[in-house]
Amino acid sequence: MQKIKNSKFTIRIPIIVAITLVAGIQIGAKFFGNQNMVGDVIKSSSKFKEILTYIDRSYVDPVDTDSLAEYGITKMLEKLDPHTAYLPAKEAQLAMSELQNGFDGIGVEFNVFNDTVYVVTPLSGGPSEEVGILSGDAILEANDVDLTGEQLNTRLIFNTLRGERGTEVKMKIKRKGFKEPLEFTVLRDKIPTYSVDASYLMEDGITGYIKINRFSETTYDEFLAGLKGLKSEGMTQLVLDLRGNPGGYLERATAIADEFISGNDVLVYTDGKDDRNDRKMYARHKGVFEKGALVVLVDEGSASASEIVSGALQDYDRALIIGRRTFGKGLVQAPISLSDGSELRLTISRYYIPSGRSIQKPYTSGDLQDYYGELNERSEHGEFFSADSIKNDVKNQYKTMGGRTVYGGGGITPDVFVSRDTTHISRYLMELYGTNIIREYALEYSNDNADKLNKMPFNSFLKSFNVTDAMLKEIIKKGESLGIEYVAKDYAKSKSFIQGQVKALIARSIWKDTNGLSNSFYKVIGKDDEMLKAAMSHFEEAKNLGK
Protein backbone atom coordinates (compact mmCIF):
# COMPACT_ATOMS: atom_id res chain seq x y z
CA MET A 1 0.00 0.00 0.00
CA GLN A 2 1.31 3.43 -0.92
CA LYS A 3 1.92 5.65 2.09
CA ILE A 4 0.18 8.98 2.21
CA LYS A 5 2.74 11.77 2.45
CA ASN A 6 1.55 14.96 4.07
CA SER A 7 3.54 18.20 3.88
CA LYS A 8 4.33 20.05 7.08
CA PHE A 9 1.74 22.60 6.04
CA THR A 10 -0.95 19.95 5.66
CA ILE A 11 -0.17 18.74 9.16
CA ARG A 12 -0.24 22.26 10.55
CA ILE A 13 -3.28 23.48 8.67
CA PRO A 14 -5.77 22.67 11.48
CA ILE A 15 -3.87 25.15 13.68
CA ILE A 16 -3.78 27.82 10.97
CA VAL A 17 -7.43 27.44 10.12
CA ALA A 18 -8.27 27.35 13.83
CA ILE A 19 -7.14 30.95 14.03
CA THR A 20 -9.76 32.04 11.56
CA LEU A 21 -12.36 29.59 12.79
CA VAL A 22 -11.94 30.47 16.46
CA ALA A 23 -11.75 34.18 15.65
CA GLY A 24 -14.76 33.82 13.42
CA ILE A 25 -17.13 30.98 14.24
CA GLN A 26 -16.63 30.78 17.99
CA ILE A 27 -16.56 34.52 18.55
CA GLY A 28 -19.45 34.96 16.18
CA ALA A 29 -21.51 32.29 17.86
CA LYS A 30 -20.63 33.40 21.35
CA PHE A 31 -21.02 37.13 20.90
CA PHE A 32 -23.44 37.53 18.03
CA GLY A 33 -25.44 34.31 17.90
CA ASN A 34 -26.52 34.73 14.29
CA GLN A 35 -26.67 31.53 12.21
CA ASN A 36 -26.44 33.34 8.87
CA MET A 37 -23.35 35.14 10.12
CA VAL A 38 -21.78 31.84 11.21
CA GLY A 39 -22.51 30.41 7.78
CA ASP A 40 -20.76 33.32 6.10
CA VAL A 41 -17.72 32.87 8.33
CA ILE A 42 -17.53 29.14 7.47
CA LYS A 43 -17.56 29.98 3.76
CA SER A 44 -14.83 32.60 4.19
CA SER A 45 -12.61 30.36 6.31
CA SER A 46 -13.00 27.51 3.80
CA LYS A 47 -11.85 29.85 1.06
CA PHE A 48 -8.88 30.88 3.18
CA LYS A 49 -7.92 27.23 3.78
CA GLU A 50 -8.36 26.40 0.09
CA ILE A 51 -6.06 29.19 -1.06
CA LEU A 52 -3.36 28.32 1.48
CA THR A 53 -3.52 24.68 0.40
CA TYR A 54 -2.98 25.60 -3.27
CA ILE A 55 -0.07 27.87 -2.32
CA ASP A 56 1.57 25.13 -0.26
CA ARG A 57 1.04 22.50 -2.96
CA SER A 58 1.75 24.36 -6.17
CA TYR A 59 3.40 27.77 -5.69
CA VAL A 60 6.64 27.99 -7.67
CA ASP A 61 8.88 28.87 -4.71
CA PRO A 62 9.03 27.61 -1.10
CA VAL A 63 6.65 29.53 1.17
CA ASP A 64 6.37 29.77 4.95
CA THR A 65 2.61 29.31 5.08
CA ASP A 66 2.41 29.95 8.83
CA SER A 67 3.87 33.42 8.34
CA LEU A 68 1.66 33.94 5.32
CA ALA A 69 -1.44 33.07 7.31
CA GLU A 70 -0.46 35.38 10.17
CA TYR A 71 0.26 38.19 7.71
CA GLY A 72 -3.17 37.72 6.15
CA ILE A 73 -4.88 37.81 9.53
CA THR A 74 -3.01 40.96 10.54
CA LYS A 75 -3.95 42.75 7.32
CA MET A 76 -7.55 41.61 7.63
CA LEU A 77 -7.83 43.09 11.13
CA GLU A 78 -6.39 46.41 9.96
CA LYS A 79 -9.63 46.89 8.03
CA LEU A 80 -11.57 47.02 11.30
CA ASP A 81 -10.25 49.61 13.76
CA PRO A 82 -6.87 50.78 15.12
CA HIS A 83 -6.95 48.60 18.24
CA THR A 84 -8.22 45.19 17.10
CA ALA A 85 -5.07 43.07 16.82
CA TYR A 86 -3.72 39.55 16.48
CA LEU A 87 -0.75 38.48 18.61
CA PRO A 88 1.15 35.25 17.90
CA ALA A 89 1.71 33.09 20.97
CA LYS A 90 5.13 34.45 21.94
CA GLU A 91 4.05 38.05 21.47
CA ALA A 92 0.89 37.54 23.53
CA GLN A 93 3.02 36.18 26.37
CA LEU A 94 5.43 39.11 26.17
CA ALA A 95 2.66 41.70 26.04
CA MET A 96 1.03 40.41 29.22
CA SER A 97 4.31 40.66 31.14
CA GLU A 98 4.08 44.47 31.02
CA LEU A 99 1.04 44.45 33.28
CA GLN A 100 1.89 41.40 35.36
CA ASN A 101 5.46 40.28 35.94
CA GLY A 102 7.69 43.08 34.72
CA PHE A 103 10.48 42.64 32.18
CA ASP A 104 13.88 43.91 31.12
CA GLY A 105 13.85 46.47 28.34
CA ILE A 106 13.96 50.14 27.38
CA GLY A 107 10.53 51.07 28.82
CA VAL A 108 8.31 52.45 26.08
CA GLU A 109 4.66 52.00 25.14
CA PHE A 110 4.63 51.83 21.34
CA ASN A 111 2.38 51.40 18.33
CA VAL A 112 3.25 50.37 14.78
CA PHE A 113 1.79 52.03 11.71
CA ASN A 114 2.95 52.55 8.16
CA ASP A 115 5.78 50.06 8.84
CA THR A 116 7.26 52.35 11.53
CA VAL A 117 7.50 52.09 15.34
CA TYR A 118 6.13 55.16 17.12
CA VAL A 119 6.49 55.85 20.83
CA VAL A 120 3.09 56.42 22.46
CA THR A 121 4.78 57.25 25.75
CA PRO A 122 8.01 56.41 27.55
CA LEU A 123 7.18 54.59 30.77
CA SER A 124 7.64 56.89 33.73
CA GLY A 125 10.92 56.35 35.54
CA GLY A 126 12.12 53.94 32.85
CA PRO A 127 15.42 54.14 30.96
CA SER A 128 13.91 55.67 27.81
CA GLU A 129 12.35 58.54 29.74
CA GLU A 130 15.65 59.18 31.49
CA VAL A 131 17.55 59.65 28.22
CA GLY A 132 14.90 61.91 26.71
CA ILE A 133 12.73 59.72 24.46
CA LEU A 134 9.41 61.51 23.86
CA SER A 135 5.87 60.65 22.81
CA GLY A 136 5.64 60.75 19.02
CA ASP A 137 9.26 59.73 18.39
CA ALA A 138 9.75 57.23 15.55
CA ILE A 139 12.30 54.47 16.25
CA LEU A 140 14.10 53.94 12.95
CA GLU A 141 16.88 51.63 14.08
CA ALA A 142 18.09 49.82 17.20
CA ASN A 143 21.48 48.13 17.54
CA ASP A 144 21.88 48.26 13.72
CA VAL A 145 18.55 46.47 13.23
CA ASP A 146 16.25 48.31 10.82
CA LEU A 147 12.86 48.82 12.47
CA THR A 148 11.05 50.08 9.40
CA GLY A 149 9.64 48.39 6.32
CA GLU A 150 7.56 45.35 5.52
CA GLN A 151 9.61 42.98 7.69
CA LEU A 152 8.58 44.90 10.83
CA ASN A 153 6.47 43.03 13.37
CA THR A 154 5.96 43.00 17.12
CA ARG A 155 8.24 40.01 17.60
CA LEU A 156 11.13 41.80 15.87
CA ILE A 157 10.54 44.89 18.01
CA PHE A 158 10.46 42.91 21.27
CA ASN A 159 13.52 40.86 20.31
CA THR A 160 15.44 44.02 19.47
CA LEU A 161 14.43 46.32 22.32
CA ARG A 162 14.18 43.85 25.18
CA GLY A 163 17.15 42.08 26.64
CA GLU A 164 19.29 41.60 29.71
CA ARG A 165 19.37 44.58 32.05
CA GLY A 166 22.57 46.59 31.89
CA THR A 167 22.99 46.05 28.16
CA GLU A 168 22.86 48.91 25.68
CA VAL A 169 20.42 49.70 22.91
CA LYS A 170 21.75 52.26 20.43
CA MET A 171 18.81 53.84 18.65
CA LYS A 172 18.22 56.22 15.79
CA ILE A 173 15.15 58.36 16.39
CA LYS A 174 13.19 60.53 13.97
CA ARG A 175 11.71 63.50 15.83
CA LYS A 176 9.55 66.23 14.41
CA GLY A 177 11.48 69.51 14.23
CA PHE A 178 14.84 67.85 13.60
CA LYS A 179 15.98 67.28 10.02
CA GLU A 180 18.47 64.54 10.89
CA PRO A 181 17.81 61.46 13.05
CA LEU A 182 18.77 61.76 16.72
CA GLU A 183 20.95 59.08 18.30
CA PHE A 184 20.24 57.70 21.77
CA THR A 185 21.93 55.04 23.86
CA VAL A 186 19.50 53.45 26.29
CA LEU A 187 20.66 51.14 29.06
CA ARG A 188 18.16 48.31 29.45
CA ASP A 189 16.76 47.98 32.94
CA LYS A 190 14.09 46.15 34.87
CA ILE A 191 10.70 47.61 33.97
CA PRO A 192 8.92 47.00 37.27
CA THR A 193 5.33 46.18 38.05
CA TYR A 194 5.12 49.18 40.36
CA SER A 195 2.81 51.74 38.87
CA VAL A 196 2.72 54.55 41.43
CA ASP A 197 5.85 56.63 40.85
CA ALA A 198 5.39 59.15 43.63
CA SER A 199 3.20 59.72 46.68
CA TYR A 200 4.20 62.55 48.97
CA LEU A 201 3.03 65.63 50.86
CA MET A 202 4.18 68.88 49.32
CA GLU A 203 5.95 71.64 51.22
CA ASP A 204 2.74 73.47 52.16
CA GLY A 205 1.81 70.52 54.38
CA ILE A 206 -1.72 70.14 52.97
CA THR A 207 -1.28 69.22 49.30
CA GLY A 208 -0.75 65.59 48.37
CA TYR A 209 0.81 64.47 45.09
CA ILE A 210 0.32 61.01 43.57
CA LYS A 211 1.66 60.03 40.16
CA ILE A 212 0.40 56.85 38.45
CA ASN A 213 2.26 55.66 35.35
CA ARG A 214 -0.18 52.90 34.28
CA PHE A 215 -3.02 50.77 35.65
CA SER A 216 -1.57 47.33 36.41
CA GLU A 217 -2.62 44.55 38.77
CA THR A 218 -1.18 46.24 41.87
CA THR A 219 -2.07 49.87 41.06
CA TYR A 220 -5.14 50.21 43.27
CA ASP A 221 -3.38 48.74 46.30
CA GLU A 222 -0.35 51.01 45.77
CA PHE A 223 -2.58 54.04 45.28
CA LEU A 224 -4.79 53.34 48.30
CA ALA A 225 -1.78 52.89 50.57
CA GLY A 226 -0.39 56.21 49.38
CA LEU A 227 -3.72 58.04 49.69
CA LYS A 228 -4.32 56.81 53.24
CA GLY A 229 -0.77 57.72 54.20
CA LEU A 230 -1.17 61.26 52.89
CA LYS A 231 -4.47 61.73 54.73
CA SER A 232 -2.84 60.63 57.96
CA GLU A 233 -0.15 63.28 57.38
CA GLY A 234 -2.74 66.03 57.12
CA MET A 235 -3.51 66.22 53.39
CA THR A 236 -6.64 68.24 52.57
CA GLN A 237 -6.17 68.63 48.78
CA LEU A 238 -4.64 66.37 46.13
CA VAL A 239 -2.89 66.46 42.75
CA LEU A 240 -3.41 63.20 40.82
CA ASP A 241 -0.88 63.03 37.99
CA LEU A 242 -1.93 60.84 35.02
CA ARG A 243 0.40 62.38 32.44
CA GLY A 244 1.90 59.82 30.08
CA ASN A 245 -0.29 57.06 31.54
CA PRO A 246 -1.32 54.79 28.63
CA GLY A 247 -4.02 52.93 30.58
CA GLY A 248 -4.26 49.28 31.59
CA TYR A 249 -6.78 47.39 33.70
CA LEU A 250 -10.17 49.15 33.72
CA GLU A 251 -11.19 47.69 37.09
CA ARG A 252 -8.15 49.23 38.81
CA ALA A 253 -8.93 52.60 37.22
CA THR A 254 -12.60 52.64 38.27
CA ALA A 255 -11.68 51.50 41.78
CA ILE A 256 -9.45 54.57 42.05
CA ALA A 257 -12.18 56.87 40.71
CA ASP A 258 -14.53 55.38 43.31
CA GLU A 259 -12.27 56.67 46.10
CA PHE A 260 -13.19 60.23 45.04
CA ILE A 261 -16.84 59.96 43.97
CA SER A 262 -19.66 59.65 46.48
CA GLY A 263 -22.92 57.78 45.99
CA ASN A 264 -23.41 54.81 43.70
CA ASP A 265 -23.60 56.45 40.27
CA VAL A 266 -22.20 55.10 36.99
CA LEU A 267 -18.46 55.65 36.47
CA VAL A 268 -18.25 54.26 32.94
CA TYR A 269 -20.37 52.09 30.67
CA THR A 270 -19.83 50.20 27.43
CA ASP A 271 -22.04 49.81 24.40
CA GLY A 272 -21.53 47.35 21.55
CA LYS A 273 -23.32 45.39 18.84
CA ASP A 274 -24.26 42.60 21.24
CA ASP A 275 -26.05 43.43 24.49
CA ARG A 276 -23.93 40.82 26.24
CA ASN A 277 -20.93 43.10 25.78
CA ASP A 278 -22.70 46.02 27.44
CA ARG A 279 -21.84 46.68 31.06
CA LYS A 280 -21.97 49.46 33.62
CA MET A 281 -19.45 50.07 36.38
CA TYR A 282 -20.66 51.98 39.45
CA ALA A 283 -19.23 53.74 42.46
CA ARG A 284 -19.80 51.14 45.15
CA HIS A 285 -18.32 52.20 48.48
CA LYS A 286 -17.42 55.21 50.58
CA GLY A 287 -14.13 56.48 49.30
CA VAL A 288 -11.12 57.67 51.26
CA PHE A 289 -11.13 61.15 49.66
CA GLU A 290 -14.68 62.00 48.60
CA LYS A 291 -14.31 65.55 49.91
CA GLY A 292 -11.44 67.94 49.42
CA ALA A 293 -10.11 69.79 46.36
CA LEU A 294 -8.83 67.52 43.60
CA VAL A 295 -6.79 68.39 40.51
CA VAL A 296 -5.94 65.83 37.80
CA LEU A 297 -3.01 66.36 35.41
CA VAL A 298 -3.25 64.90 31.88
CA ASP A 299 -1.54 65.24 28.52
CA GLU A 300 -1.53 63.72 25.05
CA GLY A 301 0.11 60.56 26.45
CA SER A 302 -2.82 59.89 28.80
CA ALA A 303 -5.00 57.21 27.21
CA SER A 304 -7.76 54.67 27.77
CA ALA A 305 -8.21 53.98 31.52
CA SER A 306 -6.54 57.33 32.31
CA GLU A 307 -9.18 59.07 30.23
CA ILE A 308 -11.97 57.17 31.97
CA VAL A 309 -10.73 58.30 35.40
CA SER A 310 -10.18 61.93 34.40
CA GLY A 311 -13.39 62.03 32.35
CA ALA A 312 -15.59 60.59 35.12
CA LEU A 313 -14.13 63.01 37.67
CA GLN A 314 -14.75 65.89 35.26
CA ASP A 315 -18.31 64.79 34.50
CA TYR A 316 -19.21 64.67 38.18
CA ASP A 317 -17.50 68.05 38.78
CA ARG A 318 -15.31 66.25 41.29
CA ALA A 319 -11.95 67.32 39.86
CA LEU A 320 -10.45 70.15 37.86
CA ILE A 321 -8.62 68.71 34.85
CA ILE A 322 -5.39 70.54 33.98
CA GLY A 323 -3.02 69.99 31.07
CA ARG A 324 -3.53 69.11 27.41
CA ARG A 325 -6.12 67.08 25.51
CA THR A 326 -5.71 63.35 26.10
CA PHE A 327 -5.03 60.70 23.43
CA GLY A 328 -8.62 59.65 22.69
CA LYS A 329 -8.84 55.85 23.03
CA GLY A 330 -12.33 54.70 23.93
CA LEU A 331 -12.61 51.30 22.24
CA VAL A 332 -12.96 48.14 24.34
CA GLN A 333 -10.92 45.06 23.42
CA ALA A 334 -11.72 41.55 24.60
CA PRO A 335 -8.60 39.35 24.77
CA ILE A 336 -9.52 35.97 23.24
CA SER A 337 -7.05 33.11 23.56
CA LEU A 338 -6.80 30.94 20.45
CA SER A 339 -6.03 27.25 20.27
CA ASP A 340 -2.30 27.63 19.50
CA GLY A 341 -1.62 30.10 22.33
CA SER A 342 -1.98 33.17 20.16
CA GLU A 343 -4.42 35.91 21.04
CA LEU A 344 -7.07 37.97 19.29
CA ARG A 345 -7.77 41.36 20.82
CA LEU A 346 -11.16 42.12 19.35
CA THR A 347 -12.90 45.47 19.73
CA ILE A 348 -16.37 44.63 21.04
CA SER A 349 -17.73 47.94 22.33
CA ARG A 350 -17.05 51.59 23.11
CA TYR A 351 -16.49 53.29 26.45
CA TYR A 352 -18.84 56.07 27.52
CA ILE A 353 -18.31 58.22 30.59
CA PRO A 354 -21.14 59.47 32.85
CA SER A 355 -22.20 62.48 30.73
CA GLY A 356 -22.78 60.10 27.82
CA ARG A 357 -19.77 61.16 25.78
CA SER A 358 -17.39 58.85 24.00
CA ILE A 359 -13.70 59.67 24.34
CA GLN A 360 -12.72 57.77 21.17
CA LYS A 361 -11.20 60.05 18.56
CA PRO A 362 -12.34 59.64 14.93
CA TYR A 363 -10.67 57.08 12.68
CA THR A 364 -11.06 55.73 9.18
CA SER A 365 -11.08 51.93 9.01
CA GLY A 366 -7.83 50.68 7.53
CA ASP A 367 -6.03 54.04 7.83
CA LEU A 368 -3.70 53.45 10.76
CA GLN A 369 -1.25 56.09 9.58
CA ASP A 370 -3.84 58.82 9.90
CA TYR A 371 -4.94 57.54 13.32
CA TYR A 372 -1.53 57.24 14.96
CA GLY A 373 -0.19 60.29 13.15
CA GLU A 374 -2.90 62.42 14.71
CA LEU A 375 -0.59 63.53 17.54
CA ASN A 376 1.78 64.97 14.94
CA GLU A 377 -1.17 66.82 13.42
CA ARG A 378 -1.95 68.32 16.81
CA SER A 379 1.63 69.54 17.01
CA GLU A 380 1.52 71.03 13.51
CA HIS A 381 -1.74 72.83 14.26
CA GLY A 382 -0.29 74.31 17.45
CA GLU A 383 -2.54 72.42 19.86
CA PHE A 384 0.31 71.61 22.23
CA PHE A 385 0.98 75.32 22.65
CA SER A 386 -2.39 77.09 22.45
CA ALA A 387 -5.79 76.22 23.87
CA ASP A 388 -7.42 78.06 20.96
CA SER A 389 -5.99 75.43 18.59
CA ILE A 390 -8.06 72.62 20.12
CA LYS A 391 -10.75 71.88 17.53
CA ASN A 392 -13.68 70.39 19.43
CA ASP A 393 -16.77 69.57 17.39
CA VAL A 394 -19.80 71.53 18.69
CA LYS A 395 -21.92 68.50 17.79
CA ASN A 396 -20.13 66.65 20.60
CA GLN A 397 -21.03 69.09 23.37
CA TYR A 398 -22.13 67.63 26.69
CA LYS A 399 -22.82 68.93 30.17
CA THR A 400 -21.29 67.93 33.47
CA MET A 401 -23.56 67.27 36.43
CA GLY A 402 -22.98 70.90 37.45
CA GLY A 403 -23.81 72.27 34.01
CA ARG A 404 -20.31 72.92 32.65
CA THR A 405 -19.75 72.33 28.91
CA VAL A 406 -17.44 69.44 28.01
CA TYR A 407 -16.68 67.67 24.75
CA GLY A 408 -16.62 64.12 23.46
CA GLY A 409 -15.29 62.50 20.31
CA GLY A 410 -11.58 62.90 20.85
CA GLY A 411 -10.05 62.60 24.30
CA ILE A 412 -10.65 64.65 27.43
CA THR A 413 -10.26 68.39 26.94
CA PRO A 414 -8.82 69.94 30.12
CA ASP A 415 -10.56 72.67 32.09
CA VAL A 416 -7.27 74.56 32.34
CA PHE A 417 -4.80 74.38 29.45
CA VAL A 418 -1.02 74.25 30.00
CA SER A 419 1.22 74.34 26.94
CA ARG A 420 4.03 71.90 26.31
CA ASP A 421 7.32 73.37 27.57
CA THR A 422 9.94 73.27 24.80
CA THR A 423 11.96 76.29 25.91
CA HIS A 424 14.84 74.08 27.04
CA ILE A 425 14.96 71.77 24.01
CA SER A 426 18.10 71.98 21.86
CA ARG A 427 20.08 69.70 19.61
CA TYR A 428 22.93 69.76 22.12
CA LEU A 429 20.62 68.58 24.92
CA MET A 430 19.29 65.75 22.76
CA GLU A 431 22.81 64.59 21.96
CA LEU A 432 23.74 64.58 25.66
CA TYR A 433 20.61 62.59 26.43
CA GLY A 434 21.18 60.28 23.51
CA THR A 435 24.54 59.17 24.84
CA ASN A 436 23.24 58.85 28.42
CA ILE A 437 25.85 61.33 29.68
CA ILE A 438 23.56 63.22 32.07
CA ARG A 439 22.40 60.07 33.83
CA GLU A 440 25.90 58.57 33.99
CA TYR A 441 27.39 61.76 35.42
CA ALA A 442 24.69 61.96 38.11
CA LEU A 443 25.33 58.35 39.14
CA GLU A 444 29.10 58.90 39.22
CA TYR A 445 28.70 62.03 41.31
CA SER A 446 26.37 60.20 43.69
CA ASN A 447 28.84 57.36 44.14
CA ASP A 448 31.83 59.67 44.61
CA ASN A 449 30.03 61.88 47.13
CA ALA A 450 27.77 59.35 48.83
CA ASP A 451 29.26 59.81 52.32
CA LYS A 452 28.78 63.59 52.25
CA LEU A 453 25.31 63.43 50.70
CA ASN A 454 24.04 60.76 53.09
CA LYS A 455 24.80 63.05 56.03
CA MET A 456 22.57 65.75 54.54
CA PRO A 457 18.82 65.71 55.28
CA PHE A 458 16.86 65.56 52.04
CA ASN A 459 15.04 68.82 52.73
CA SER A 460 18.40 70.58 53.07
CA PHE A 461 19.52 69.07 49.77
CA LEU A 462 16.29 70.17 48.11
CA LYS A 463 16.65 73.78 49.30
CA SER A 464 20.39 74.36 49.18
CA PHE A 465 22.16 71.95 46.84
CA ASN A 466 23.12 73.46 43.50
CA VAL A 467 24.52 71.84 40.39
CA THR A 468 27.50 74.12 39.85
CA ASP A 469 29.17 75.36 36.68
CA ALA A 470 32.14 73.17 37.57
CA MET A 471 29.87 70.12 37.57
CA LEU A 472 28.38 71.15 34.25
CA LYS A 473 31.87 71.50 32.75
CA GLU A 474 32.45 67.85 33.58
CA ILE A 475 29.35 66.97 31.58
CA ILE A 476 30.56 69.13 28.69
CA LYS A 477 33.95 67.37 28.75
CA LYS A 478 32.29 63.95 28.76
CA GLY A 479 30.26 65.01 25.75
CA GLU A 480 33.30 66.25 23.86
CA SER A 481 35.09 62.98 24.54
CA LEU A 482 32.25 61.23 22.72
CA GLY A 483 32.28 63.66 19.81
CA ILE A 484 29.44 65.92 20.99
CA GLU A 485 30.30 69.45 19.95
CA TYR A 486 29.70 72.14 22.59
CA VAL A 487 27.30 74.76 21.24
CA ALA A 488 27.14 77.81 23.50
CA LYS A 489 23.72 78.97 22.32
CA ASP A 490 22.18 75.53 22.82
CA TYR A 491 23.90 75.13 26.18
CA ALA A 492 22.52 78.43 27.44
CA LYS A 493 19.04 77.37 26.36
CA SER A 494 19.22 74.00 28.14
CA LYS A 495 21.44 74.83 31.14
CA SER A 496 18.78 75.18 33.84
CA PHE A 497 17.01 72.04 32.65
CA ILE A 498 20.26 70.03 32.76
CA GLN A 499 20.89 71.30 36.29
CA GLY A 500 17.42 70.20 37.38
CA GLN A 501 17.80 66.75 35.85
CA VAL A 502 21.22 66.16 37.41
CA LYS A 503 19.95 67.21 40.83
CA ALA A 504 16.87 65.00 40.53
CA LEU A 505 18.91 61.97 39.45
CA ILE A 506 21.33 62.47 42.34
CA ALA A 507 18.37 62.66 44.72
CA ARG A 508 16.91 59.42 43.33
CA SER A 509 20.26 57.67 43.73
CA ILE A 510 20.89 58.77 47.33
CA TRP A 511 17.40 58.97 48.87
CA LYS A 512 15.87 55.71 47.70
CA ASP A 513 12.20 55.10 48.44
CA THR A 514 10.43 51.80 49.06
CA ASN A 515 7.80 50.09 46.90
CA GLY A 516 9.05 51.55 43.64
CA LEU A 517 8.48 55.18 44.62
CA SER A 518 10.75 57.98 43.39
CA ASN A 519 9.55 60.74 45.69
CA SER A 520 12.93 62.44 45.92
CA PHE A 521 13.21 62.65 42.12
CA TYR A 522 9.74 64.14 41.65
CA LYS A 523 10.14 66.59 44.53
CA VAL A 524 13.15 68.04 42.71
CA ILE A 525 11.71 68.24 39.19
CA GLY A 526 8.39 69.45 40.59
CA LYS A 527 10.07 72.78 41.41
CA ASP A 528 10.19 73.59 37.68
CA ASP A 529 7.07 71.71 36.56
CA GLU A 530 4.79 74.27 34.91
CA MET A 531 1.75 71.99 35.00
CA LEU A 532 2.22 71.31 38.70
CA LYS A 533 2.57 75.06 39.31
CA ALA A 534 -0.73 75.55 37.45
CA ALA A 535 -2.35 72.94 39.69
CA MET A 536 -1.22 74.75 42.82
CA SER A 537 -2.66 78.03 41.56
CA HIS A 538 -6.10 76.59 40.69
CA PHE A 539 -7.11 74.82 43.89
CA GLU A 540 -9.67 77.48 44.76
CA GLU A 541 -11.39 76.77 41.44
CA ALA A 542 -11.23 73.05 42.18
CA LYS A 543 -12.82 73.62 45.60
CA ASN A 544 -15.78 75.43 44.04
CA LEU A 545 -16.62 72.81 41.41
CA GLY A 546 -20.25 71.73 41.50
CA LYS A 547 -21.28 74.46 43.91
**pLDDT single digits (tens) 114-160:** 678 888 677 766 788 878 888 778 899 999 999 988 778 777 888 88
Does residue 511 share a domain with residue 379? Answer: no
Does residue 203 share a domain with residue 186? Answer: no
Is 546 domain-assigned? no
Does residue 514 share a domain with residue 365? Answer: no
Is 542 domain-assigned? no
Could you tell me the sign of the dihedral formed by the alpha carbons of 311, 312, 317, 318, in that order? negative
Residue 27 confidence (pLDDT) above 80:
no
Catalytic (active site) residue 329: yes
Domain boundary among 37, 59, 77: 77
Mean pLDDT of 249-257: 94
Q: Which of 56, 81, 299, 315 is catalytic?
A: 315
Does residue 414 share a domain with residue 433? Answer: no
Is 486 domain-assigned? yes
Does residue 400 share a domain with residue 293? Answer: yes
Beta 168-174 vs 138-142: how paired, if at all? Answer: antiparallel
Catalytic (active site) residue 304: yes
Q: Which of 304, 310, 358, 520 is catalytic?
A: 304
Residues 6+ apart with CB under 8 A from 272: 278, 332, 348, 349, 350
What is the CA 235 to chain-centroid distance, rounded? Answer: 29
Does residue 379 share a domain with residue 250? Answer: yes
Element (H, E) at 336: strand 331-337
Does residue 470 share a domain with residue 371? Answer: no
Predicted local confidence at residue 511, as pLDDT = 92
pLDDT category of residue 95 using cuts at 50, 70 and 90: low
Domain of residue 387: give its range: 196-420
Domain count, the chain: 4
Please give the C-alpha separations between residue 401 and each of 266, 330, 404, in angstroms, as whole numbers.
Answer: 12, 21, 8
pLDDT category of residue 409 using cuts at 50, 70 and 90: confident
Domain boundary among 191, 207, 229: 191
pLDDT tens column, 415-468: 999 999 999 999 999 999 888 789 889 988 998 999 999 999 999 999 999 999
CATH for 184: 2.30.42.10
Backbone angles phi, psi at 280, to 5 degrees: -125, 140
Is 262 domain-assigned? yes
Does residue 54 share a domain with residue 167? Answer: no
Does residue 142 share a domain with residue 61? Answer: no
Residue 98 confidence (pLDDT) above 80:
no
Q: How far is the C-alpha of 143 from the C-alpha of 503, rounded, in Å?
A: 30
Is 395 domain-assigned? yes
Catalytic (active site) residue 265: no
Does residue 443 share a domain with residue 518? Answer: yes
Is 228 domain-assigned? yes
pLDDT category of residue 20 using cuts at 50, 70 and 90: very low
SS3 533: helix
Contact criterion met (CB below 8 Å) for 263 and 296: no
pLDDT category of residue 193 using cuts at 50, 70 and 90: low
CATH for 302: 3.90.226.10
Does residue 183 share a domain with residue 246? Answer: no
Is 141 domain-assigned? yes
pTM score:
0.77
Q: Which of 329, 361, 503, 523 is catalytic?
A: 329
Is 215 domain-assigned? yes
Residue 209 gets which letter from DSSP? E
Does residue 249 share a domain with residue 155? Answer: no
Mean pLDDT of 358-377: 80
